[in-house]
Amino acid sequence: MVWNSASDFFAMGGYGLYVWGSYGVTAACCWSLCWPRAGTVPPCRRWRIWKMNKVKQT
Amino acid sequence: MKKLPRLFTFAAPKTFYRLATVTGPWLYAIAAAFAIWGLYVGFFVAPTDATQGDSYRIIFIHVPAAWMSMVLYMAMAGWAAFGWAANARLASMMARAIAPTGAAFTFLALWTGAFWGKPTWGAWWVWDARLTSELILLFLYLGFMALVEAIDDVRRADHAGALLAIVGAVNVPIIYFSVRWWNTLHQGSSISMTAAPKMAHTMLLSMLLMTVAFWAYAFAVVFMRARAVVLEREIGADWVQALAHKK
């Protein structure tokens, strides 16, 4: 497969939005999952810990 | 002669933690290498499709993501069931570690499917059996994660999650066979074990390379997440305390 130019490559024969929209979101999703520690404590558990601490304080 | 480690050696959180720590970076490297190779073949070797033009190149991520969504669900359900039946702590931790990765792959299968459906079918979404059952799979993953997080008692949460995961496993064969059992807009299986491939060899090669990349990536991410879950749950154990002081 030979692309005539870089703009040809990015245009993907008129389907650039669909192809790059798919690959872009896939890359972003995979990148975000590479940092599991940040997502290990989900919001609901964080909230519970925060609530417990608040109860202790009062 | 050096003794080989027994299989159940890694069932202990401490030894599994070490295994995941050592293998994680290698799995990421394998995933990156295969992804680069697969994308090169997919974008610079595989020809333009005669009917779908270049929009078909979405297949190189769509099909592996869809496969991984189903495989990871079965793995999650299997670990959750084993953890429940055998009261194995690490198995339940593995189930929890797999869920977000499986949900992400399911989301990606749906997202890339929508971006492929629009230029080929003229619609982002149709309530077709394959698409609908895949959407249900996403809800099952989200339901599993929400359920295990909503129950404070960890063992009870694991058991409740296992029950949901086992019941939900019935959806996986429905997804796989939906294109055979019902008339769907979605095309049939891309690869069959009993028939010759319907696509050009370079297209197939790229798809398989990306599949290997996704497998390695899934293992790496699940191992990394499992490490975090192990640390969180074993916080009172001496080896975790020692690890914390070491760092």
* Higher-pLDDT residue of B9, B14: B14
B41-47 own/partner pairs: CB under 8 Å, 24+ apart: B41/B202, B41/B205, B41/B206, B41/B209, B42/B203, B42/B206, B42/B207, B42/B210, B43/A1, B43/A9, B44/A1, B44/A3, B45/A1, B45/B202, B45/B206, B46/A1, B46/B200, B46/B202, B46/B203, B46/B205, B46/B206, B47/A1, B47/B200, B47/B202
Give the pLDDT of residue B58. 94
Question: Does residue B187 carry a pLDDT above 50?
Answer: yes
With a CB cutoff of 8 Å and minimum separation 6, the contacts of B201 are none
- Alpha-carbon span B72 to B78, nearest angstrom: 10
Question: Does residue A38 carry a pLDDT above 60?
Answer: no
Question: Does residue B196 carry a pLDDT above 90?
Answer: no
Task: Look at residue B53 and tell me if it is in a domain.
Answer: no
Mutate to test the interface with A, among B44, B51, B58, B224 (most CBs of A within 10 A): B58
Q: Which of B65, B119, B149 sits opposite A42 (nearest CB)?
A: B149
B44: nearest CA partner in chain A: A1
Structure tokens at B209: 């390379």
Q: How far is the alpha carbon of B221 from chain A, nearest alpha carbon, in Å?
A: 6
Task: Look at residue B127 and tell me if it is in a domain.
Answer: yes
* Predicted confidence band of residue A2 (pLDDT cuts 50, 70, 90): confident
Average pLDDT, chain B: 89
Counting Cβ atoms within 10 Å, is residue B17 exposed (0-12), middle (13-18) or buried (19+)? buried
- Cβ <8 Å between B112 and A45: no
Question: Does residue B123 carry a pLDDT above 50?
Answer: yes
- Alpha-carbon span B187 to B130, nearest angstrom: 9
Question: pLDDT per residue over B128-160, tens digit each?
Answer: 999 999 999 999 999 999 999 899 898 999 999
Give the pLDDT of residue B241. 74
Residue B45: its chain A contacts at CB < 8 A?
Answer: 1
Give the pLDDT of residue B159. 95
Reported as type and span, the H/E element at residue B191 is none
Split into its structural domains, chain B has a count of: 1
Residue B145: its chain A contacts at CB < 8 A?
Answer: 42
Phi, psi of A52 (to 5 degrees): -60, -45
Among left, alpha and beta (phi > 0; psi -120 to 50; other), residue B3 is beta
Question: pLDDT per residue over B15-67, tens digit each?
Answer: 888 888 899 899 999 999 999 999 999 999 999 888 888 999 999 999 999 99
B46: nearest CA partner in chain A: A1
CA B123 → CA B115, B128, B155, B186, distances in Å?
9, 12, 44, 12
Rounded-to-10 torsion of CA B28, B14, B232, B166:
80
- Alpha-carbon span B166 to B188, nearest angstrom: 27
- Is the ipTM reported for this complex over the cut 0.95? no
Residues B81-99 have a mean pLDDT of: 92
Give the pLDDT of residue B169. 95
List the domain range (segments joined by +) for residue B200. 26-45+58-230
* B57 contact A CB<8A: yes
Residues B88-102 have a mean pLDDT of: 93
Question: pLDDT per residue over B201-244, tens digit each?
Answer: 899 999 999 999 999 999 999 998 888 888 878 777 777 777 76
Single-letter amino acid code for the residue at B35: A
Question: Does residue B194 carry a pLDDT above 90?
Answer: no
Average pLDDT, chain A: 76
* Higher-pLDDT residue of B166, B121: B166
Give the pLDDT of residue B6. 67
3-state secondary structure of A36: helix
Q: How far is the alpha carbon of A19 from chain B, nearest alpha carbon, in Å?
A: 6
Task: Look at residue B2 and tell me if it is in a domain.
Answer: no
Question: Does residue B189 carry a pLDDT above 90?
Answer: no
Q: How far is the alpha carbon of A25 from chain B, nearest alpha carbon, in Å?
A: 8
- Alpha-carbon span B145 to B160, nearest angstrom: 11
